[in-house]
Amino acid sequence: MSPQNAGPTEHGVQFVDPTQMDLVEEGLRIMAFGGKVPTGTTPKDVVYTRNKTTLYRYRSSNRRHATPILFVYALINRPYIFDLRPESSFVKFLIDQGYDVFLIDWGTPGWEDRNMDFDDYVGEHLPMCVERMFRASGAKDYTLFGYCMGGTMTAMYAALHPERMRNLVCLTAPFDFTDTGLYGIWLEDRHFDPVRLAEGLGNIPAELIDVGNMMLRPVVNYVGANVTMWDRLLAGKDMTSFLALNKWVKDGVAFPGAAFVQWITQFYQQNLLMKGEVTVKGEPVDLSRIAVPLLNIAGENDHIATPSQVAPLNEIVSSTDKTYLLLPGGHVAMLVGAGAQKGLWPKVLAWLDERSD
Partner 1 sequence: MSTTPPPNPFEAFKAAYDQAAESWSKSMEQVLSSEDFAAAAGRMVARYADAQEALRQAAEATSDQLHLPTKDDLARVAELVLNVERKVDQTTDQLFEFVQSQAGAASAQLLTQISERLAALEAAFQQLARTSAQSPPPTPAPPAPAAAKTPPADPAPDSRARARPTPSRRAAPKE
Residue 186 is a binding residue for partner 1 (CB under 8 A): yes
CB nearer to partner 1: give 6 or 350.
6
Point out which residues pair with 283 in neighbouring strands.
280
User: Contacts with partner 1: how many residues (CB under 8 A)?
Assistant: 43
Residue 232 is a binding residue for partner 1 (CB under 8 A): no
Rounded Cα distance between 218 and 327, Å, is: 23
* Cβ partners under 8 Å of residue 275, min gap 6: none
Residue 134 is a binding residue for partner 1 (CB under 8 A): no
Looking at the chain, the number of H-run helices and the number of E-run strands are: 16, 10
Residue 200 is a binding residue for partner 1 (CB under 8 A): yes
Residues in the chain: 357
Segment contacting partner 1 (CB under 8 A): 80-88, 127-135, 159-167, 168-176?
Answer: 127-135
Q: Among residues 28, 31, 223, 350, which is the contact residue for partner 1, using CB under 8 A?
A: 223
Residues 59-118 within binding reach of partner 1 (CB under 8 A): 110-112, 114
CA-based nearest residue to 149, from 307, 263, 298, 250: 263
Residue 13 is a binding residue for partner 1 (CB under 8 A): yes
Is 302 a catalytic site residue?
Answer: yes
* Contact map string, positions 295 to 334, toward partner 1, x by CB under 8 A: ----------------------------------------
Rounded Cα distance between 292 and 160, Å, is: 12
| H-helix or E-strand spanning residue 105 | strand 101-105
Chain Cα centroid distance, residue 329:
14
Residue 31 is a binding residue for partner 1 (CB under 8 A): no
Q: Among residues 37, 136, 197, 291, which is the contact residue for partner 1, using CB under 8 A?
A: 197
Total Cβ atoms within 10 A of residue 247: 20
Residue 191 is a binding residue for partner 1 (CB under 8 A): yes
Pairing of strands 283-284, 279-280: antiparallel
CA-based nearest residue to 268, from 181, 197, 347: 181
CB nearer to partner 1: give 32 or 219.
219
Rounded Cα distance between 152 and 134, Å, is: 22
Catalytic residues: 148, 302, 331
Interface positions with partner 1 (CB under 8 A): 1, 3, 6-8, 12-16, 50-51, 110-112, 114, 128, 131, 135, 182, 185-186, 188, 191-193, 196-197, 199-201, 208, 215, 217-220, 223-224, 227, 230-231, 234
